[in-house]
Each structure stands twice: as structure tokens, then as C-alpha cells.
Amino acid sequence: MAEKHYDLVIIGGGPAGYVAAVRAGQLGLKTACIERAKLGGVCLNWGCIPSKSLLANAELYEKVSKQADQWGLSFEKLGYDWSKIIGRSRDVAGKLNKGVGFLLKKNKVDHIDGHAKIVAGRSGDTPCRVEVYDAETREEITPSPTKVTKLREAVTADNVLVCTGAVARDLPFAKFDNETIIGAREAMTLPERPKKMVIVGAGAIGMEFAYFYHSFGTEITVVEMMPRILPVEDDDICAFLEKTYKKKGMDIRTSTTTTAVEKTKNGVKVTVAPFKDGKADESKKETIEADKVLLAIGVTGRFDGLFDDSLGLKTDRGAIVTDYKPGPPFQNQKLTYQTSVPGVYAVGDVIGAPWLAHVASEEAIIAVEQIAGHDPYPIDYSVIPGCTYCHPQVASVGYTERALKEQGLEKGKDYAVGSYTLNAHGKAIAVNANEGVIKIIRGLPRGEILGAHLCCENATELIGELGLARRLEATSEELIATIHAHPTMYEAVHEAALASEGRVIHA
């Protein structure tokens, strides 16, 4: 059978892959999207979307179980059906998964089910070549070697875009067993709520699951090696959230490392020790017993079995190497996302941090538009919003105060800070959500928004205004001059901007 030829073959159907495919279809490129598991990738099926369903359940249950009297409500008997909570989350993912398939079909994209292996890059007039295999391992999001069986077909393409995402990392002495030592996927589908859980890692994933399970009564211990939870966030925000959760009874151990994990007959024993100066203090180690341990220590790019060895494709520390370099400088860079193999590009989690779906989608669009001969506006990686959907929510954009100090900037000389707590904020009090803080950092003397950091109700929505302000190089004065509707939560942004100039009204 003759091999089918495409202008573009996209490998992976997640938030980078399917968005790339839709955009390619819009631009008239003959496109195929190869996905060995469910369309939508980890984000839609096992991450961003279904986890938000669980968190919405937790927030609702927390309101009615712990705040009912404040709302003037009472219940003879309040309970929950754990299977329905988990089932609703899976239903949400299922509905959206079908929607992705519709989008591909609508934009005339061929969906090929199977495991892709790139066997040749572009060379002169010879196109890239991709083989498609049946795969036994189809939906794993934790590290495991891909098992392929028979070769089903092969296709050629002028260009190939790799969008295969990332998988959770485990520990050398604690490998995922999907039962006792679990990752995010298993945490979303546990058939029973554990009585005790240890969560290793206090990043966004760790803290979201900590909030979810704690809300339903699980005894939670969070272990974080760094001196603060949500380590990438601003110190003041981290401290505020940690204080809030400790007040609610959550056991949070920062500056603490995990040194051993032992499976037992009834669950697991996790040994932890204080962590200082790059090493554990074994003399003060402690063992914590629990039903489950959730490893939330980060992710690594997934490309196992994707490239033929003869390609010599360059990778570095679990990421495919392109012309994108994580970290500063953050100026608008015109990137191609070209790998070391001609005709093969890569975007999203597989090329490194930040591991965010919205970044992956934007990189995918830019890569496709360049392949199609367009000149898209580049990404400004200093204006990437970060969101954590625990409650209260956390959101940020731009620089933390810690990062500015590391660059040698001085508070009062190079930048000013305005913080506004929601204790007396009208809308927050009205909806019983006045536990929060908004912090804005403005540059001196001009007043441009250098960073914004929120921990409050609807923080992940409120960050939009501040992201746009930073993108447009707006100043605190321009934020202040923008009339904010009353009563709203986003009036708090106005107050924080006022605070950065020393003229807050409602505090």
C-alpha cells in the first residue's frame, strides 16, 4: 500500500497537539494527528479538567459542611457519595474528549490511532517518515516503557510536530505501583477515600489534591523540600496559604525531604527528615504512616519509543532540545521550535518548563503558523499566568519579589509593593470569601506592573486583567484610572494598585 503523504503530521492529541491540528486545518494544510490514547491528552482526560471537577465538589462540600450556619442553612444529615464525585469528574472528561474529535473532523484533520515512531527526518526532497504501531500501553501518565506490537502503517510528511507532553516523576526508592504509591491519575480515581495520605511535593498538583482530600476528611501531611509551599510563587502568597491551611488542620512540613517509602500490609510508611544546606538531617528523621502516598514532585518529557536511534535527536534532562531555552532572558524571542532533526519540531511540556497547557497551546499555534509561512507574534514568557485551583485559589503573572531581589533590585528604589487583604472587602464579605490577599509589584519610577500575585476567591479569573496589564506595559496609575465595577471581587485589584502607590482606600 502506498504511504499517505501530509503537509504536517502532529504526534500527540493533547492541548498542544489538537490545537496545532485545528490551526493547521484552518490554514489549509493537509494534516494528520496521531494519538495512541484518548484525544485531549493528560490535561483533558487526567489533569486540568477532571481535577477541577473534583475541586469544585470539594469547595461545595466545604461550604455546606463547615459554613452552613453562616449561610443560614441546616441539614439533618449531610453526606456524600464518593463514587458519584469521582464519576462526575470522569463524565466531564468524557464529554470534552468527544468534542476534540469533532474539532478535528470539522477542520478536515485525519485522526490516526496508534503509537508513532519517527524513523526519518526531512532530507532534501525526501520527506519525514513516521511509522504507526499498535501499542499495548495506551493511557499511562506515569513512567513506564511503551509496549508496541505490530506495525500498522507508515506516513510521510513535509514536517512533523511533536506534542507528546510529559509524565509524572517518581523517586528512585519509591516507584509508582498505582495502588499505594500513586500519581495524579490514581489520585483522581481512588475507589475509596483514604483516611490518611502523605503528599510528597507542594507544587500546584500537590496542593490541589491536598485541598481536595482534606475537604472530605482525609488526614493530610504535605512534605516539601523547599522552605515554602508552591515554591515558584511569591513568598508572601506562599506564607498566606500555608497559614490558612495549617489553621484548618493540615499538616505541612516545609524544608523537609522524603528519605524512604516502605509499603506495609495496611498502607505505607514514609520517612522524612529536615532538609538544610542540600542534605537531610538523618538524626531528626520521622516516620509517618498512611494509607496512600501521592508523589507530586514534578514531570519529565515523554518521548519513549518515539524516535529511531539513527535520528540522533538531541535531548537534555528529560526534554527535547529546540531553540527554546527555559528561563531568562524573557524578551520576545522569535522561536521556531525546531529540533536537531530537519523537519521535526516540538512544543509543549516535552520541551521543558513551564509545564502549562496554555503555554503548550500557544507554542503549537506559533509553530504551525511558521510552518505555514506566516510570521506570528512571539510568546513573551514573562507574561505567562500561573494558576493553582485549591481554595483559596492562587494565581500570578510576572516577577516575584524574590526574583527581583535576586536580580539586585531594591524595594523602595527600583520597585514598590502594594498588598490588599480582603478582610473588609465588600463583595468578599457578601459571599463569605474574605480570606485572601492581592499583591502588586510596580517598577519605579514609571510604575509598570512587574508582577502580580493573588491568593483569594476567583484568583484564577482575576489574574486575566493583570496579565493583560503586564502585556500592554500598563502602569499602576492606568489600573487605578480604570473604573472597576462595584461590588465585585476584581475591585480588589484596584485596591492593590492603589496600595502600591500608598493610597489604598478600603484598608
As beta bridge partners, residue 34 has 11, 112
222, 270 contact by CB (below 8 A): no
Q: For 210-219, b where at least 16 C-beta lie within 10 A, e where not — what string?
A: bbbbbbbebb
Kindly give the confidence (pLDDT) of every residue in the chain, 507 residues in length, as a single tens digit, with 9 standing for 90 and above.
568 999 999 999 999 999 999 999 999 999 999 998 889 988 888 889 999 999 999 999 999 998 889 999 988 889 999 999 999 999 999 888 889 999 999 999 999 999 999 999 999 999 999 999 987 655 555 556 667 778 889 999 999 999 999 999 999 999 999 899 999 999 999 999 999 999 999 999 999 999 999 999 999 999 999 999 999 999 999 999 999 999 999 999 999 999 999 999 999 999 999 999 899 999 999 999 999 999 999 999 999 889 999 999 999 999 999 999 876 545 557 899 999 999 999 999 999 999 999 999 999 999 999 999 999 999 999 999 999 999 999 999 999 999 999 999 999 999 999 999 999 999 999 999 999 999 999 999 999 999 999 999 999 999 999 999 999 999 999 999 999 999 999 999 999 999 999 999 998
CATH entry 3.50.50.60 includes domain 181-295: yes
Rounded to 5 degrees, φ, ψ at 29 are -80, 135
Considering the domain 392-500 in this protein, what is its CATH number? 3.30.390.30
Place of cell 471537577: 53
Question: Where in the sequence of the chain do the CATH 3.30.390.30 domains occur?
Answer: 392-500
Question: Where in the sequence of the chain do the CATH 3.50.50.60 domains occur?
Answer: 4-38+106-168+299-371, 181-295
Give me the architecture of the 4-38+106-168+299-371 domain, per CATH.
3-Layer(bba) Sandwich (3.50)
321, 293 contact by CB (below 8 A): no
Active site amino acids: 486
SS3 label, residue 289: strand
Q: Is beta strand 196-200 parallel, antiparallel or unpaired with respect to 181-182?
A: unpaired
Q: Of 181, 185, 34, 203, which Cα lies nearest the Cα of 104?
A: 34
